[in-house]
Chain A
């Protein structure tokens, strides 16, 4: 062949992407001259249809067509264009400039070029497909690598072991989705033996979510040692995150501090799913309000507290559980989780597997997990461990009884106050104990003994080196002492609920610990008040 090939390759596939030099080299066979200028031809240019149906080489100068592509070819000095067609699809053009001899292309030249195009077309197509697959494979590899990094970050930062607290059982579970979300949980070992528990979920997936998760975890770890209160920790964490978090990302997070000695759980919530507490008669939500972290500066976080009683289990979780879908696109839902928690009758450790089994039963075996699933359960043993040291140190200060007549709670309260005069409770804490005793006595007289005057309410006042306890027993066989609920004052003010119902709530708030036991026809409520600076140890008297 006497002409040289100008490697003006136009890839007409995929909206006019230029073919890569490697592919061009397959057919250009080392050009002796530098390539001519590239020509862009839009996929909807009329010349594309023309080339697609042309048989053999096309003499560009002789073509008359209102086509920007044709004008571009002429401007580039192309004399002959040989369409490369594979399976009816135009995949490229072999463009030739003038012959070096300055003579026209002969019929033989054109026949040779047509022959070449017939063979080159499919070969170029194969090369294009191979190249395309290589690019896709590289993209997949990059994605897999990113997911591997994200998974590594998360798994490295999740707790390696569960806290070992006498009288408590704590379990954690984390199953990343294929695309790896930003779920995390963490345990912080705080001063005085208290345990910080964090669970969170970063919006987005992959490496960005993993990095924000790692940052949030570090910020909370740092902040939790500065502040004693979960609300303040979240407030500070939010301030630190807001300037650094990428736009459109935020973190839902719940932070709780457990005092294992008493079961007191203080918590604050930055927009995270509400934990459920399984108790003797059902399951309730642990509510607290607050905006997710990283959205807006200057946010405050409501702080709430509750008591986790012996036998109760609190389940913390992320939306990967409640927002899982079944094949008919129904969601697992909060309602289903609450019902399952209410009906559950096993241990805290087994609760994780129980819920996962329920999830599998709901989603079916072919479920492609949409989001990370994280679960943390916190169970207080039904029978507190016996600490003989503490148990033997309780001393009875006084025992007395009052009949079940309205107003006697005032006398019982005064008598308890007198008995503990020498016990050095601060005035504020003494007032709290007095209110607790008065309310518990009223409940015993009214609900336990149904105001039958002849049925007594018994009192035992005890002291240990670390705490005071008042045990109040009724004998009337009345209703059991229920769980304290936080009264809904808005509903009461709106007339939707009775204005009453404050007693148990006040008792819970006034004293450090409340224990309830029942015998044959009797109920005992034990109010425990720590001495100043004492918040530890099994204080049950």
Chain B
């Protein structure tokens, strides 16, 4: 197996739930990603920060997972933020227009300051 199975851990920073992602975001990562998001929801965090610093690969299925999370967050009035994206994935988030709906921060401190 070439993929690096996704691990997703949730930690609280003030009122923001930070989801640290490690591995690949593709079809194999669906369960871990959704479980982490559900945990953030349980904490009733008004903002959820996805930290991609340890993510090397996001494919179109991964994009679809993030779109689904974003739809879920918008429905419940939560803000979804991102940080740690490489310049390549910043470009992909821009092309797909994900960046129009979830703010991309250069680092965690900047994201938390705005959350």
Chain A residues with CB under 8 Å of chain B are 406-411, 414, 428, 431-432, 435, 438-439, 442, 487, 489, 492-495, 498-503, 505-506, 509
Residues of B contacting A410 in the complex (Cβ-Cβ under 8 angstroms): 2-3, 24, 57
B1 at the binding interface (Cβ < 8 Å): yes
Chain B residues with CB under 8 Å of chain A are 1-3, 24, 26-28, 57, 59-61, 63-65, 67-68, 70-71, 74-75, 86-88, 91-92, 95-98, 100-101
Chain B nearest CB from A417 CB (Å) reads 12
Which one, A414, A493, A500, A509, contacts B70 given CB within 8 A? A493
Evaluate whether A499 and B67 lie within 8 angstroms (CB atoms) in the complex, with A506-B92, A506-B95 already known. yes
Complex: A406 Cα to B27 Cα, angstroms: 9
Complex: A328 Cα to B28 Cα, angstroms: 60
Contact in complex: B88, A432 (CB < 8 Å): yes
Chain B nearest CB from A434 CB (Å) reads 9
Contact in complex: B61, A500 (CB < 8 Å): yes
Residues of A contacting B92 in the complex (Cβ-Cβ under 8 angstroms): 435, 506
Contact in complex: A408, B65 (CB < 8 Å): no
From B74, which residue of chain A is reached at the shortest CB distance? A493
A428-B91, A435-B92 given; name 14 further pairs at CB < 8 Å. Answer: A407-B3, A410-B57, A414-B2, A428-B87, A431-B88, A489-B98, A493-B74, A499-B65, A499-B71, A500-B64, A501-B64, A502-B60, A503-B60, A505-B96
Residues of B contacting A501 in the complex (Cβ-Cβ under 8 angstroms): 64
From B66, which residue of chain A is reached at the shortest CB distance? A499
From A494, which residue of chain B is reached at the shortest CB distance? B71
Q: What are 27 pairs between A and B in contact, CB < 8 Å? A: A407-B2, A407-B3, A407-B28, A408-B2, A409-B59, A410-B2, A410-B24, A410-B57, A428-B87, A431-B86, A432-B91, A438-B59, A487-B96, A489-B67, A489-B97, A489-B98, A495-B71, A495-B75, A499-B65, A499-B68, A499-B71, A501-B64, A502-B60, A503-B60, A505-B96, A506-B95, A509-B95
Contact in complex: A492, B60 (CB < 8 Å): no
Which 5 pairs across A and B sit closest by C-beta, in order of nearness? A499-B67, A502-B60, A431-B88, A410-B2, A503-B60
Residues of A contacting B75 in the complex (Cβ-Cβ under 8 angstroms): 495
Residues of A contacting B2 in the complex (Cβ-Cβ under 8 angstroms): 407-408, 410-411, 414
Chain A nearest CB from B12 CB (Å) reads 26
Complex: A432 Cα to B95 Cα, angstroms: 12
Contact in complex: A492, B24 (CB < 8 Å): no
Complex: A428 Cα to B70 Cα, angstroms: 27
Chain B nearest CB from A530 CB (Å) reads 18
Chain B nearest CB from A439 CB (Å) reads 6
From A489, which residue of chain B is reached at the shortest CB distance? B97
Which one, B26, B27, B96, contacts A489 given CB within 8 A? B96
Most buried by B among A435, A493, A498: A493
Chain A nearest CB from B81 CB (Å) reads 16
Contact in complex: B63, A489 (CB < 8 Å): no
Contact in complex: A428, B88 (CB < 8 Å): yes
Contact in complex: B60, A506 (CB < 8 Å): yes
Complex: A7 Cα to B41 Cα, angstroms: 99
Complex: A407 Cα to B65 Cα, angstroms: 16
Complex: A406 Cα to B60 Cα, angstroms: 13
Complex: A409 Cα to B97 Cα, angstroms: 24
Contact in complex: B24, A493 (CB < 8 Å): no
Residues of B contacting A492 in the complex (Cβ-Cβ under 8 angstroms): 67, 71
Chain A nearest CB from B77 CB (Å) reads 14
Complex: A489 Cα to B95 Cα, angstroms: 11
Chain A nearest CB from B105 CB (Å) reads 20
Contact in complex: B88, A435 (CB < 8 Å): yes
Complex: A502 Cα to B67 Cα, angstroms: 11
From B70, which residue of chain A is reached at the shortest CB distance? A493
Evaluate whether A493 and B71 lie within 8 angstroms (CB atoms) in the complex, with A410-B2, A509-B95 already known. yes
Chain A nearest CB from B37 CB (Å) reads 14
From A411, which residue of chain B is reached at the shortest CB distance? B2
Residues of A contacting B70 in the complex (Cβ-Cβ under 8 angstroms): 493
Chain B nearest CB from A238 CB (Å) reads 24
Residues of B contacting A503 in the complex (Cβ-Cβ under 8 angstroms): 60
Residues of B contacting A502 in the complex (Cβ-Cβ under 8 angstroms): 60, 63-64, 96
Complex: A292 Cα to B92 Cα, angstroms: 30
From B59, which residue of chain A is reached at the shortest CB distance? A438
Residues of A contacting B101 in the complex (Cβ-Cβ under 8 angstroms): 489, 493
Complex: A428 Cα to B87 Cα, angstroms: 8
Chain A nearest CB from B36 CB (Å) reads 17
Complex: A505 Cα to B87 Cα, angstroms: 19
Complex: A486 Cα to B78 Cα, angstroms: 27
Which one, A408, A428, A439, contacts B59 given CB within 8 A? A439
Complex: A220 Cα to B2 Cα, angstroms: 52
Contact in complex: A493, B67 (CB < 8 Å): yes
Residues of B contacting A509 in the complex (Cβ-Cβ under 8 angstroms): 95
Residues of B contacting A408 in the complex (Cβ-Cβ under 8 angstroms): 2
Complex: A181 Cα to B47 Cα, angstroms: 55
Most buried by B among A499, A501, A505: A499
Residues of B contacting A414 in the complex (Cβ-Cβ under 8 angstroms): 2
Complex: A47 Cα to B70 Cα, angstroms: 84
Complex: A499 Cα to B2 Cα, angstroms: 25
From A441, which residue of chain B is reached at the shortest CB distance? B59
From A498, which residue of chain B is reached at the shortest CB distance? B64
From B86, which residue of chain A is reached at the shortest CB distance? A431
Complex: A435 Cα to B1 Cα, angstroms: 18
Residues of A contacting B3 in the complex (Cβ-Cβ under 8 angstroms): 407, 410
Residues of A contacting B61 in the complex (Cβ-Cβ under 8 angstroms): 442, 500
Residues of A contacting B60 in the complex (Cβ-Cβ under 8 angstroms): 439, 442, 500, 502-503, 506
Residues of B contacting A495 in the complex (Cβ-Cβ under 8 angstroms): 71, 75
From A504, which residue of chain B is reached at the shortest CB distance? B60
Complex: A314 Cα to B38 Cα, angstroms: 47
